[in-house]
Amino acid sequence: MDKLKQYWVAEELEKHLGTPENPDSKMSFKRVIELDESEEFPHKEIEWLYNWKLQHYYIPVNCGGEFTSFEEFVAFVRVLCRRDQTIGIAFTTLFWSFITWMAGTDAQKQRLATYVKDEHGAMCLGYSEKEHGADLIGGDLTATKVPGGYILNGEKWPINRATISGVSYILAKTDKDSGARGLSLFMVEKSRLDPAHYYNLPKILTHGIRASDMSGIGFKDCFVPEDMLIKGEGAGLEVALKGFQITRTLCAAFSHGAADTALRTTLKFAINRVIYNKTVFDIPQPRKTLADGFLDILICDCETIGAARGFHVIPEQFSVWGAVVKYFVTTQLETMINNISVVLGSRFYMRQEHDCGMFQKVLRDNSIISVFDGSTVVNLHSLILQFRQLTKQRSRRNAAKMETIKSRLEIIFSLEKQLPEFKPEKLEIIGRGADDVLQGLEIALEQLQALKSAKIEPLVLEQITRLTNCILAELNAHDLEISNSAFEFGHDQSPELFEIAKKYCALHAAAACVHTWIYNREVLGEFFAGGEWLVLSLNRLLKPFGHSEKVDQLYWEKVTQEMLKLDKENKLFSIVPFQLAQTQKQENQTNANSELQHA
């Protein structure tokens, strides 16, 4: 862990925020519940983050900021969202700035960097419309060319942070007759507009993230200068879709933060609640439910962290990988939070009783994440349209291609490897049939074979190998099914194909778990290296498809004890369990334990 410098920012932010259980800390559970009840935007908390200069980590180094990797980014967003998704999401609308870093002019980049760093500015995304939803091409907002700029007319809705932001990325029709090529994207700076010609729509009352600024924006004969146009007329949809590949992937960090708090607060209840003359945690069913929840976090960690690193190595594959992460991680962790709610009994539904009612808030807030930046259906549909090309590409692999995949997988999944700089210009709207994670399964099997001489329990290695072969068998069956099917165009995809897409995502997550274990056995500690958690995780992912290994109860006990250990030591539930903020008493105990270990 000490070697993984990419987690330093997250740990420092944790330390300065303080433990959320302390009502006097910056973003305590008590405080965020108060904000939720009042539905007031968290201005003070957002300003604290700006003063801490967290906004610098949303700006690439070559644009004057301190952003270095998406892996680092995911870690500190997770820190925010384990306290409050409302605050985490509100501040992280800043990641829409990647549209400008990706496609803006040097002047646009400079203006935006100055605005974010020095003026504590934020931005929002205006793509959808009330009458058209996710049908971006069907939108009605227009941008009519005039000398020196454009005239905007229309409304965008719903938008997170629409009112309390100074920059709005607005997708508009510059040519009504050109379909996808008739859309253009504008970085609209409110400070440069005539206030008489734009307006904000009323706050939308929502089920969760109730203190957020969820509203919209409208334009009435509003002039915007030509220098607000991003990339050029007709490039709007292309830039928008590439931007989604980034933001959809990063949405997983919101879910991870919520999952950590949901599990932590539920575990705390189970350990301390006595019923039937024993603690809830000592009852087999709740104990197993919580261990399953912990496994879900580890599984999603492998998929999310791998993807965050993958951006730097294979950005051209993220029309596939981004869709997988957005569907799988957000829905898996949403289901996990629902599953563990039964351990709390009726308290999961109460807004005050346990930890200030934090679980109930998490349950409400987190339900929107799978809808953000493209719903589950949108992401599965995106995968379906690429299946035929993925199948063809896999059938055409040769020794040279496999060697290239192997070298890329090592950089992506080995957390000690230095990542190259992110190259957004390499993003593709539709990938060219490449998906290293699944197309590198044979490489993983070769590496597992080579581990027979390593210090690994033979049975564990045998089981991991057999289950990895099962992933490969299911992938082969998938390819055959796609090859023998008739291609279905547009949005008229069959329900059966959506189930096939869900299965592909599960296989992808299973493969990511295997790759992560192979490359980090000597980095992430004894529990991770042992591999029992991996056997249980692969069982969990593959059982719906008829594959699983019979395991000793000891496997479950190791997972359970690791979960308890991380909770006791106040560390993140993760394959990278960095230190969370501690009370003074906890710090003293940690220091005392450290001194004993070195004595």
pLDDT confidence of residue 591? 57
pLDDT confidence of residue 352? 84
Round to whole Å and give the CA distance between 381 and 503.
Answer: 13
Give the count of beta carbons closer than 10 Å to the beta carbon of residue 248.
Answer: 25
Bridge partners, residue 173, by sequence: 142, 183
CA distances, 23 to each of 18, 78, 83, 272, 583 (Å): 10, 20, 12, 20, 12
DSSP character at residue 354: T
- N-to-C CA span, the chain: 21
What are residue 149's phi and psi, to 5 degrees?
A: 170, -145
pLDDT confidence of residue 582? 86
Amino acid (1-letter code) at residue 377: V
Asked if the domains 5-119 and 240-566 are classified in one and the same CATH topology, the answer is no
Q: Do residues 159 and 215 make contact, with C-beta atoms less than 8 angstroms apart?
A: yes
Hey, what CATH topology would domain 240-566 get?
Butyryl-CoA Dehydrogenase, subunit A; domain 3 (1.20.140)
Hey, what CATH topology would domain 5-119 get?
Butyryl-Coa Dehydrogenase, subunit A; domain 1 (1.10.540)
Q: Which class would CATH give 123-230? A: mainly beta
Instruction: At 191, list the tokens.
Output: 């400070």
Q: Please calculate the CA angle 478-480-482 and round it to the nearest 5 degrees.
A: 70
Residue with tokens 């259906």: 377
Give the distance between the most distant pair of CA atoms in the chain. Answer: 80
Q: Coil, strand or helix: which one is 184? A: strand
**Helix residue spans in 171-222 (DSSP H):** none
Strand (E) or helix (H) holding 449: helix 441-450
Model-level pTM greater than 0.85? yes
Domain chopping of the chain, boundaries:
5-119, 123-230, 240-566
pLDDT confidence of residue 587? 61
- What is the DSSP pairing of strand 198-201 with strand 214-225? antiparallel
Is the backbone of residue 551 left (phi > 0), alpha (psi -120 to 50) or beta? beta
DSSP string, 51-74: HTTGGGGGSBGGGTS-B--HHHHH
Local mean pLDDT, 10-residue blocks, the chain (599 residues): 83 97 95 97 98 98 96 98 98 97 97 98 96 93 98 97 97 95 98 98 96 97 98 97 95 98 97 94 97 98 98 97 98 98 92 90 96 91 94 92 97 97 95 95 97 91 98 97 82 90 98 98 96 98 97 97 97 97 68 56
